[in-house]
Structure 1
Amino acid sequence: MNLRLFLFFLCLTGVVCSQCYWNTECSYKYFSSKTLYNSVRGDIRDSIIKIKQCEPISMWSIIRHGQRNPGIDFARQMKKALSLKKLIVKSFDRKNSSVCAQDIENLRNWNVPMDMLTNVRYLTKQGYQESLGIGQRIRAVFPDLVNNLDEGTYQFQSAYGHWLVNSMKAFVEGITAGNNDKIIEEINDDGDIIAPYSICGKYQEEVKKNPQTYAEAEKYKGHPDFIKTKDSIQKRTGINYKLFNDNITTLYDLCRYTWSGTEKYSPWCSIFSQEDLEVLEYIGDLRHYYRSSYGIPMNIKFAGPILWDLLKKFEEAKQGNGKKIVSYSAHETMTDMVLTALGLFKDDLPLTGKEKKPDRKLRTSIISCFSTNIMAVLNRCTQDKLSNYNVIFYLNEEPLTALCEGGICSWDQFEDLLKPFINATVDPEFCQFKTNRY
């Protein structure tokens, strides 16, 4: 077990965590898809797989945007919930609360970051640093690939959204050590491969906007786990206001959107126990399981075109007319779909609201965090003047050993893995009609 997973499970046990949030030695920092990249990432400088007599000739990656501000609906609900701050502090002053004194003091002194609630979906400073750091570490490991990137030797492309474009700008800055003359393409409205689900009427109506997609997550809110969580927050804060399910969700958003890791923990998180956060994390897993992963078979279809792109790009590189680096900036929905299409992190039984599975493979905190990334590196190996090729996959800067033994796929294994996606498209007839992205 690597160090990151060891620390993850150590925190799950709670064996080193103290009672107060402000001085806990092991703050629970797993917030489903709003988890910070630095909380779970590896480091490709340490985990890089090097093979004798082999050299990297091309890299392909799809990278989720870095940490961003909440969307307009989330921001509106969070703004309303700020009124609860006074109630929580007042309850402590009246000795009705079991929240620790320093945690209450931190919450009392906490100021609303208004830019977070007004500049909706804007990339945060931390989000920019996440993307920048990925680029810098890739530059450190693959200098021959990223040096002297002339026109035609690279492709940097972003899905829609200024926060994605800015994430890609940060990544390119890291890759090129600040050279800002590289072209970043934005997807068009027709047939793009980075977010085909976003304009597909069938997906939008039958999956994303369909209440049934979230039925298991809603069902879990009636489970004793969630009821216990709601009651414990009510008792811990001691406020004279009955908390409803929506209140719990919004308070959780205040915790995870204002949490910035080692720089500054959010005092809003102090009203939750670790057990509470694990319950809320599972609700996030259930939502993503059905919206963009194994829960609905349609989801796999949207990853086909971009995986075919990966195969084509590496075939071109083998022939000597490919690009040194190809990178796409995407939404979490797309990275989820790619992992699903590759058959990764699939549980034996579907995730449901009937019970929380502590040993589940699909944990959005680990595989769908901010800046989550899937990278593939094509190596050319030469022996006795003969060349052969292999491909190494990485997830969040650690080798994806589940795809091939030792994390190294021979070219034949790589082709077999991606063969199902040859000529994959998301055609208008399947989608039925084109929809607006928002």
Structure 2
Amino acid sequence: MCSLILLSLSVFMFEVCSASICFWNSGCPYNYFATATPYNVVRGDIRDSRIKIKSCEAVSIWGLFRHGKSNPDLDTAKNMKKVIATRHFLETSYINGNCSLCAQDVENLKDWPIDDNLFDKPNSVADEGYKEMLGIGRRLKQAFPKLLEKSKDIQYIIQLFDSNDAVMKDSAKGLMEGLKSGSNLDSLTSLFTDSKWCNKKNNTHDIIESLKYHGSSDYLILKDRIQRRTGINYDLTDEDILSLYNLCRYSSSGFEKKLSPWCAIFTTKDLQALEYMEDLHNYYKDSYGTPKNDILGRIPLADLFGKFEQVKLGKGKRMVAYITQASTLSMAYTALGLFKDKEQLTGAYRNSERQWRSSKITAFSANFIAVLNRCAIDEEEDYNVIFYLNEEPLMSICEDGICSWQEFEEKFKSFTNSSAGCNDF
């Protein structure tokens, strides 16, 4: 009798555990999607995390801002649209008992409404992306109210990596709206100027390592796991898997804290492997995988030093913001030696403990901000610089996250001499 009770209990526990791993009611789903990670997943809040130093006041802000969440490019959108039909095959697979997804997850996929903007407006800022940038501007203004108060004089410079890029332009408008709290943006269009930085030649190493990873046991197990989980009666290609992944991440929302039902296709291990696949690509394209990437990264850092030196001389601006791409941030981190792993990332092995995580350092609207403070110490004027990554203090550049002017000059002045021209790129 006791054994029967125990058997019944174990069956009951198994059923409860099975239900608890359904995607739709998962309490803590994995939401790190490499460079397509929503900003709200990784951001801090500079109003709470701002480092305040007695007898010091902020006199200038300089920042690199990746554009806000955007729709995929035309080719990516076309491929995503092709695999939407997968949900019908999934439904059939579930009815036939071949799919291991939960009933509610299959139903949510079936009822998923197609967002025409996602496919018909490629390379444009999504509503969430505009809100991301607007929120950053508002929080900066609230954190530094005296510095970013309204002024008749032009005290801000908003520069675009490419003024013809609608994603950059709309992101800049979102940031400015937040900073100016609804001022007339038409009067500020003259501030949106091009940033003429260099472009480098393509590097084949990012493709080579990505291909190696596609042949690794890690990726092949992922592919088999997805095939078995969906139970679809045709073989999913690498392109199919990437497109399904893009449906998952591009139709998720950081503001609503709601992941797309397309994410139900993937386990946490699947998402971690796909995240690494993109990290690997970016590592060789924009970071330590190619030694010369740090040369381009020195260019914005030289600009940072020059802009703060002007402020120190009484000639600078209250704020300088560059609206740019993930590549620019990655190269700047590389020049500074940030997020550097002891061993290079490779396609043969996925380092789950790696420091280079594009989800956390180059997500949508990711930002690298420096704040120059003027201090009065023993009636003498002095300056220091504090760095922030995604609105959280960045502690690794100087001790306790605060650089004295001497430390800042020692670390950054050299970039003005080594940010060479573009002949090698």
TM-score (norm 1): 0.89
Whether the 8 Å contact between 1:159 and 1:186 is mirrored in structure 2 is no
- 1:333 is displaced (CA, Å) by 0.7
Contact 2:66–2:365 under 8 Å retained in 1: yes
Shift of 1:382: 0.3
**Are residue 182 (structure 1) and residue 179 (structure 2) matched?**
no
- Which residue type is aligned with residue 188 of structure 2? K
2:370 and 2:190 mapped to 1: Cα distance? 20
Is this contact kept in 2: 1:66–1:123, CA < 8 A?
A: yes
Could you say which residue in structure 2 is the equivalent of 1:58? 60
Q: Equivalent residue for 1:213?
A: 206
The sequence identity of aligned pairs, in percent, is: 43
**Aligned pairs for 1:161-200 within 5 A:** 161-179=165-183, 180=185, 181-183=187-189, 185-188=191-194, 192-193=196-197, 196-197=198-199
- 1:305 Cα deviation after fit: 2.0
Inter-CA distance 227–144: structure 2 relative to 1 (3 Å threshold) = same
What's the offset of the Cα at 1:385? 2.0
Q: 1:158 aligns with which of 157, 160, 180?
A: 160
Identify the residue that residue 334 of structure 1 maps to in structure 2.
328
- Residue number among 89, 92, 98 corresponding to 1:90 in the alignment: 92
Q: Which amino acid aligns with 2:37?
A: T
Distance in 1, Cα, partners of 2:226 & 2:424: 46
Q: Structure 1: which 4+ aligned runs deviate by more than 3 Å?
A: 149-152, 183-188, 423-426
CA distance in 1, matches of 2:149, 2:389: 23
Give RMSD over aligned pairs.
1.7
1:374–1:392 CA distance, 2 compared to 1 (3 A): same
What SS does structure 2 have at the residue aligned with 1:430? coil
For the residue of structure 2 that corresponds to 1:420, the secondary structure is: helix
Within the alignment, does 1:350 sit opposite 2:350 as a pair?
no
| Residue of 21, 24, 29 corresponding to 1:22 | 24
Deviates more, 1:22-31 or 1:296-305: 296-305
1:27 Cα offset (Å):
1.1
Question: Is residue 158–residue 185 contact of structure 1 (8 Å, CA) maintained in 2?
Answer: no
Does the aligned pair in 1 maintain the 2:251–2:260 contact within 8 Å? yes
Aligned CA distance change for structure 1 residues 110 and 392 (closer, same or farther; 3 Å): same
Classify the secondary structure of the residue corresponding to 2:424.
helix
Q: Relative to structure 2, which stretch is displaced further, 260-269 or 360-369?
A: 260-269
Contact 2:105 2:261 in 1 (8 A): yes
1:167-211 Cα offsets, whole Å, 9 max, x none, are: 1110111111111233454454xx713xx22xxxxx234x2xx3x
Q: Distance in 2 between matches of 1:226 and 1:148?
A: 53
Normalising by structure 2, what TM-score?
0.91
Distance 2:190 2:170 in 1: 10
Structure 1 residues 18-51: Cα deviation after superposition (integer angstroms, max 9, x where no partner): 4111110001000011101100111111110000
**Counterpart AA for 1:110:** W
Q: Find out whether 1:204 has 2:201 as its counterpart.
A: yes
Check if 1:226 corresponds to 2:230. no
Query: How far did 1:88 drift?
Result: 1.2
Match of 2:124 among 117, 122, 128: 122
Alignment check: 8 A CA contact 1:155 1:184 kept: no
Q: 1:18 to 1:414 in 2, by over 3 A?
A: farther
Q: Which residue of 2 aligns with 1:73?
A: 75
User: Within 2, Cα distance between the matches of 1:76 and 1:345?
Assistant: 34
CA distance in 1, matches of 2:331, 2:193: 18
Displacement of 1:152: 3.6
Aligned residue number for residue 43 of structure 1: 45
Where does the alignment leave 5 or more consecutive residues of structure 1 unmatched?
1-14, 198-202, 432-438
Q: How many residue pairs align between the two structures?
A: 403
Taking a change above 3 Å as real, the CA distance of residues 105 and 262 of structure 1, as seen in their structure-2 partners, is farther
Give me the whole-angstrom Cα distance separating, in 1, the residues matched to 2:295 and 2:376. Answer: 37
Structure 2: stretches of 5+ with no match in the other structure: 1-16
Q: CA deviation at 1:304?
A: 2.0
User: Which residue in 1 is equivalent to 2:102?
Assistant: 100
Q: What is the rounded CA distance, in whole Å, between the counterparts of 1:247 and 1:279 in structure 2?
A: 15
Return the offset for 1:384: 2.6
Cα gap change, 1:184/1:167 in structure 2, threshold over 3 Å: closer, same or farther?
Answer: farther
Q: Give the letter aligned to residue 230 of structure 1.
A: K
Alignment of 1:109-148 (within 5 A): 109-148=111-150
Question: Which residue identity lines up with residue 226 of structure 1 in the other structure?
Answer: Y
Name the SS for the 2:290 alignment partner: coil
Question: Pick from 247, 250, 274: which aligns with 1:257?
Answer: 250
The residue type equivalent to 1:117 in the other structure is F
Q: Deviations over 1:342-372 (max 9, x none)?
A: 1100001100111111111111111110000
- Are the counterparts in 1 of residues 206 and 283 from structure 2 also a CA contact under 8 Å? no
Q: Which of structures 1 and 2 has the bigger CA Rg? A: 2
Other-structure match for 1:278: 272
